[in-house]
Amino acid sequence: METLPAAQKAELSLQSAMLYLLIACVVLIGAVVAWILTSNEARNEALRESRNNLDKAQQIARLGNWLWDLKCNEVYWSDQVYRNLGLSLHNNKASYEKFLECVHPDDRARVVKLVDEALENKQVYAIEHRVIWPGGEERIMCGAGEVIFDAQGHPVQMHGTIQDITERKRDENRKNEYAHLIYDLYNNAPCGYHSLDPQGLIVDINETALRWLGYSRNELVGKVMFCDLLSEDCVQLCWDKLGQLKKGGTLSNLELNVRCKDGRLFCVLLSSTALQSEDGEFRGSRCILVDYTERRRHEKELQQAAVVFDAIREAVIITDDARNIVAVNNAFTEITGYTLEDVYGRNPRLQQSGRHDKTFYQSLWRSITEHGHWQGEIENKRRNGEIYPAWQNINVVYDRNGKIANYVSVFSDISVIKEKEKQLRHLANHDSLTGLPNRLLFFNSLEISLERAKRRRMEVALMFIDLDRFKIINDTMGHEAGDILLKTVARRLSEAVRGEDMVARLGGDEFTISLEELSNTEDAAAMAGKLIETIRQPIHIGGHEIVCSASIGIAIFPHDADSAQNLARAADAAMYRAKELHRNTFEFYTSELTERAIEHLTLSSEMRQALERNEFELYYQPQFNLASGKLVGAETLLRWRHPTRGLITPYCFINIAEDSALIDPIGRWVINQLCRDVAGWLKEGLKLPRIAFNVSGKQLEHYDVKGRIEHALQRWGLEPSDLDLELEVTEGALQYEERSVEVLRQVRSLGLSVAIDDFGTGYSSLSRLKRMPIDTLKIDRMFIRDLPEDPNNQALASGIILLGRALGLKVVAEGVENVEQLRFLQERDCDEVQGFLLSKPLPKAAFAKLLKGEGLPVIPPASLTVVRKPAASD
């Protein structure tokens, strides 16, 4: 092997070293590159996180930043800038022009001017302006910017921020408005306000107090109120009260005299509250001043007048111009029973007795309005409900401007005078034993009634009543027993007739009754029958039970006579004819009226045929809940479709049915037909309300009502538990108390409810009512008919509703025919109503449509109208 020269070996060694060094450098460079790449990725991740945090912070602060490269006219907006301008990040390129498009047109020129000035004057700018979002919403922005210049002083960049300050500005505006409002209230309040420091120095005082006292604010701030402003007699009092305030107390309505700048004294009422620090240290007080000058003067005048006011014997009422009571005297309290606290602020109409009509009060107020006063006799009501007569004067008091300031009423109780007059009149016009009108008063009243009937073209019935065999009772039991009998009969007759009818005793055992405004002669016959039954009720005298009968003669004006005397003769003749025939009955004067009895026999015969020919029909009158307006029940009503007379109501034949023993087969037909209809409706899937049917007193007394009902239910496959049936009985049925209670309890055991029909017109007493197993009271239509005008019907209807509520009974009003009646019953919380206003009695098919919801009336609460949806058949 050839040995290389030393120089060549040295060169090879150097080359090898250089190679190793190169390799080491390459490795080192690779390691550095790897480190740089790893470091950049970490920094990029940190940068992204930093940007996200910045974006979140900008969203919270609603603060976006922007950069404008002036050389290349490129603009950068942060995401929050887009949000502040209401723009989408993807569809809008950032530019100065785009920004100006968003600025409110009224603010755009101001923004451009400020940016131009910043570029020219090398200054930082800040501005508040509005922007309009694409949807039209207006927002308020706070913008700021700064220009960056190069070494030659040329602008190269502008950067800045834009913040949405809408909510902040709105809050500021609200606070400013509230502050101005508080300031105005403080300075223009009708009361004076001022603040004191712990030493009693005035710290602040409002304009009202300054105006009262005549000072400027600078003249009073820093003054010691208690020394510098108060009269000498008030200073020590106020220092004492200040001591109370320092202990955390309050002052209320302290009367003080404050000295004004012009030297006069100004009377005020001062109320003050202490101001304390958190640790309880007294820091001063806030005070309220009320002008008391005029009030103090008025009080002195009133004190003088009060002595006279309470000394006079006549009652005095003073009202304001709105006729609300503001003052009464002691005599008023003594006469009426009302104190000032009872009547203050109320209208004097609370004394109205209800015995004067609207015309009376219209005339009274017409006199007051036209002449400034009224004087006359009036009937008022005391607090305890007692009616008393008064002689009253009412005068108007006018103020300086001629406007009404007060009404003054002065009256005296003339009960003693009127009672004496009444006693004298009563002695002259009434029977001393029974208290009934005597012959003189009766015939005077009868002549007036006949004149009234003549004008109105109405009929009047005159009844002469003679007690059968009264002489025997009087002779065998004594005159004292006879007197008791006469008084009992007189009371029963009075209770049996209407309020407008008159009962009188002519003498001995003869009574007479006049019935006004007859619709037909059948009304007189019905009343006569009722009176005979009333008189026949047993009377217990001295341990004996006496049954007394009566004979009644009836004459009708103007058919039988045209004068009171002639009518009396006709009625007397008819009465004797009744006695001659069979007693315990009534007779009409004319043969024509007597022939109506024959017609009753004919109807009785035809009713038997009607049952065989199936001429009877059932109608259903809906009942509605007043609170909800829903259909909650129906009353089953019988109708007779007579082949020649047409559709006849029970009023024309039911009494005949009771007298002829037809009431039982007719009653069985009603119950059977009702169950048949109900079964049919249930088969159709209809939801049924409560359905009531009537049972007469004769049925309760003589027939098996429970058995009749059970038989009908079984025949048509009905279970009482699946139905809501109600049995209605008239008040007359309550006279057979023991039997009635037993029958009604049997009926209720079947699951039926029980209602008293025509309540208030019959025989019931509260003691009997309490013992009767009943669920419902039905107010008779005669008490609804004249509502709300008739005060008596108002009282009776309201009383029945309250009675039912007290006994836990449902109350249903019958015969509701107008909106005023409905509204009256709504205001008294009557439970349910029925009547022509809401629905007439409906045949089976029409009622079925109502059950399906067709044609139901709408009853708004306390409404003035009733809206009825048309049925398909309308």
Q: Could you tell me the two tokens for 81?
A: 């800038």
Would the pLDDT of 15 be above 50? Answer: yes
In 47-187, where do the E strands start and end? Answer: 63-69, 74-77, 125-132, 138-149, 155-164
Closest-CA residue to 289 (of 336, 229, 357): 229
Q: What local confidence, expressed as pLDDT, does residue 829 receive?
A: 92
Residue 414, Cβ density class (10 Å: 0-12 exposed, 13-18 middle, ≥19 buried) = middle
* 277-336 pLDDT tens trace: 777 777 887 888 888 777 777 777 777 777 777 778 889 999 999 999 999 999 999 999
Cβ-proximal residues to 847 (8 Å cutoff; 6+ apart), any chain: 619, 620, 622, 634
Are the CB atoms for 487 and 433 separated by under 8 Å?
yes
pLDDT band per the 50, 70, 90 thresholds, residue 765: low
pLDDT band per the 50, 70, 90 thresholds, residue 632: very high
Mean pLDDT of 602-607: 85
Q: How do strand 404-413 and strand 550-557 relate by DSSP bridges? A: unpaired
Residue 221, Cβ density class (10 Å: 0-12 exposed, 13-18 middle, ≥19 buried) = middle
Q: What local confidence, expressed as pLDDT, does residue 104 receive?
A: 93
β-bridge mates for residue 649, sequence order: none
Phi-psi region of 860 (alpha: psi -120 to 50; beta: other; left: phi over 0): beta
β-bridge mates for residue 67, sequence order: 76, 159
* 432-459 pLDDT tens trace: 899 899 988 899 999 988 998 888 888 8
* Distance (Å, whole) CA 172 – CA 161: 22
Would the pLDDT of 870 be above 50? Answer: no
Percent of the residues in the chain that have a pLDDT greater than 70, as a whole number: 90
Are the CB atoms for 217 and 225 separated by under 8 Å?
no
Mean pLDDT of 541-565: 88
* Distance (Å, whole) CA 167 – CA 229: 48
Q: What local confidence, expressed as pLDDT, does residue 394 receive?
A: 94
Q: What local confidence, expressed as pLDDT, does residue 597 receive?
A: 47
Q: Which has more pLDDT, 65 or 280? A: 65
**Cα atoms in the Cβ-side hemisphere of radius 13 Å centred on 847:** 27
Q: Tell me the CA distances in angstroms from 525 to 185, 223, 448, one per residue in order.
A: 80, 98, 23
Q: Which has more pLDDT, 583 or 349? A: 349
Helices (H), 325-438: 330-336, 340-343, 358-371, 415-429
Q: What local confidence, expressed as pLDDT, does residue 226 receive?
A: 55
* 241-264 pLDDT tens trace: 767 777 766 777 777 788 888 878
Fill in the amino acid letter for 841: P
Mean pLDDT of 626-655: 90
Mean pLDDT of 178-192: 79
Mean pLDDT of the chain: 84
Q: Which has more pLDDT, 133 or 59? A: 133
Mean pLDDT of 485-509: 91
Are the CB atoms for 775 and 753 separated by under 8 Å?
yes
Q: What local confidence, expressed as pLDDT, does residue 677 receive?
A: 94
Q: What local confidence, expressed as pLDDT, does residue 697 receive?
A: 79
* Distance (Å, whole) CA 652 – CA 379: 43
Cβ-proximal residues to 84 (8 Å cutoff; 6+ apart), any chain: 62, 64, 131, 139, 141, 162, 163, 164
* pTM across the whole model: 0.39
Q: DSSP per residue over 556-598, as a string?
A: EETTT-SSHHHHHHHHHHHHHHHHHHTSSSEEESSHHHHHHHH
Q: What local confidence, expressed as pLDDT, does residue 320 receive?
A: 93
Mean pLDDT of 479-487: 90
Cβ-proximal residues to 481 (8 Å cutoff; 6+ apart), any chain: 473, 474, 541, 542, 546
